[in-house]
Structure 1
Amino acid sequence: MIDLRDTTKKYDDGPPALAGVTLSVAAGECVAILGHSGSGKSTLLNLIAGLDKPSSGTVTVDGTRVDQLGEAGSARYRRARVGMIFQFFNLLDDLTVVDNVMVPAQLAGMGKGEARRRAVELLDRLGIDRHAQAYPQRLSGGQRQRVAVARALMNKPALLLADEPTGALDSSSAEDVRRLLLDLNSEGQTIVLVTHDVQLAASTARRTIELVDGAVERDVVNRGGGAGLAARTPLTSSAGETR
């Protein structure tokens, strides 16, 4: 699903944000990209999403050379292949919940009726259909993140990218989102979870890739389904860090 080969990204004359990274993610995997602030996590995510271009090396996602796409091609690629979940939801406050979920499908050219039917199905699946006509600011953080997940799934993406999806949530809401990601992955959804939270990575992903100073420091496969991974990595929990 994802294949990076000797991928480097430099923004200025300083050290590279990403330094010669080679890694792959298979279809159906849930992989956590772990690292402290400045480790290169966001840069890696942006390259996979086609939001940025590498300085050298290649980025291939679902058979598409993302690093070779122009601006229009990158936009089409994201609409068709990638769903994105953000730490602060990025919902449109002047649209209802169902209208927020419909946005990606309408941008992709889906008819309004068909888009509404799919949005309602997703909201029902995620247990928030009763809020379809509400506005995002009336919902809890956990509910807003479920809306964001529904929006990300709207175009049936091959790849789901989650950038600190529980970072702005209380512990109860964070657990709900964690379980939702596990459920989606169990159904075959490929997920790349970017976080600096060791416990979230350990309990959600089957595999964790740790970045340090833009390079892959460790790539751990956890055949136990996530349990116990935290005990095998020297990173400390981010519970005390500002999010």
Structure 2
Amino acid sequence: MTQVIELSGTARRYDGAGPPALGPLDLTVAQGEALAVTGPSGSGKSTLLNLVAGLDRPTEGTVTVAGTRIDGLGERALARFRRDRIGMVFQFFNLLDDLTVTDNIQLPAQLTGTARRTAATRAGELMELLGIERHARAYPGRLSGGERQRVAVARALVNRPALLLADEPTGALDSASGEDVRALLVDLHRSGQTVVLVTHDLALAEACATRTIHLVDGQLAADTRAEALR
């Protein structure tokens, strides 16, 4: 089975004299898996996400994502790797308010050198898939929270990433919009997308993930698997 994430003896220390914020940790995530990362504030969830995304570097061990050991890459190579191989969805959307929905979605593709027409075609496919095609020419400020998160997911998927990282994707949404995004994550996983979801919401983890790890004080406290998504 192909492993999309491989952490080996991975640790991150911010204070050389204190305990690590994360690890040392050994962890693998297989292609097509939907993993939820849970734990209290300060447990190491964000540190783990940042290491996998290449936004931070381990002080010990290695981080391999989609077959590439990213902890040894330079900043330019890391930025290029993230752009090409990782899609990221954040709690507060991080959309560009002065660009239309279509332009927000296709921007990452254009940054990789994809022709504008090709990028627009891919954006159109994703908008149709995610049910937001009617908002193609709208600006993010005119959309609901759930709609903006769907735009953010489309943007994250435009380059067909090996891995989708979602950081508290329903944290800024009302309950109805949260349910909408939860269903979207389930559908994406069922289509074969590898997903890592960081969340405080145990109900969201239970609904969206086939596997859940629980971190406490930077250590792996539990690793459980669900039989199937609902």
Fold-level similarity (TM above 0.5):
yes
Query: Which deviations, in whole Å up to 9, do the C-alpha atoms of 1:67-109 show, x marking residues without a partner?
Result: 1111011011101110000000000001111000011001111
Deviation at residue 47 of structure 1 after TM alignment: 0.5
- Aligned equivalent of 1:213: 217
Instruction: State whether structure 2 residue 111 is matched by structure 1 residue 102.
Output: no
Paired residue secondary structure (2:15) = coil
Partner of 2:13: 10
> Which of 121, 125, 128 is the equivalent residue of 1:121?
125
How large is the Cα RMSD of the aligned pairs? 0.9
Matches within 5 A, 1:5-84: 5-13=8-16, 14-84=18-88
Contact 2:186 2:229 in 1 (8 A): no
Offset at residue 62 of structure 1 (A): 1.0
In structure 2, C-alpha distance between the alignment counterparts of 1:32 and 1:198, rounded to whole Å:
9
Mapped to 1, the partners of 2:141 and 2:148 lie a distance apart of 8
Tell me how far apart the structure 1 counterparts of residues 227 and 121 of structure 2 sit (CA, whole Å).
38
Offset at residue 65 of structure 1 (A)? 0.2
| Aligned residue among 92, 95, 111 for 2:115 | 111
The two structures have a TM-score, normalised by structure 2, of: 0.96
Superposed, 1:126-141 pairs within 5 Å as 126-141=130-145
Contact 2:13 2:21 in 1 (8 A): yes
Q: Distance in 2 between matches of 1:124 and 1:223?
A: 30
Question: 1:224 deviation in Å?
Answer: 3.9
Contact kept, 8 Å, 2:14 with 2:21, in 1: the verdict is yes
Q: Deviations over 1:171-229 (max 9, x none)?
A: 11111111111111001000000011111101110100000011100000111436xxx
1:202 aligns with 2:169: no
Alignment match, 1:188:
192
CA–CA distance in structure 2, aligned partners of residues 6 and 221 of structure 1: 22
Q: Matched residues in 2 for 1:150 and 1:189: separation?
A: 13
1:12 match: secondary structure: coil
| One-letter identity of the residue aligned with 1:217 | A
Number of paired residues?
226
Output one character per residue of 1:128-183: Cα deviation in whole Å (capped at 9) or x when no partner: 01101110010000000000000000000010000000000011111111111111
Q: Which residue of 2 aligns with 1:162?
A: 166
Pairing partner for 1:171 from 175, 181, 186: 175
24-33 or 109-118, which moves further after superposition? 109-118
C-alpha separation in 2, matches of 1:195 and 1:70: 29
SS of equivalent to 1:188:
coil
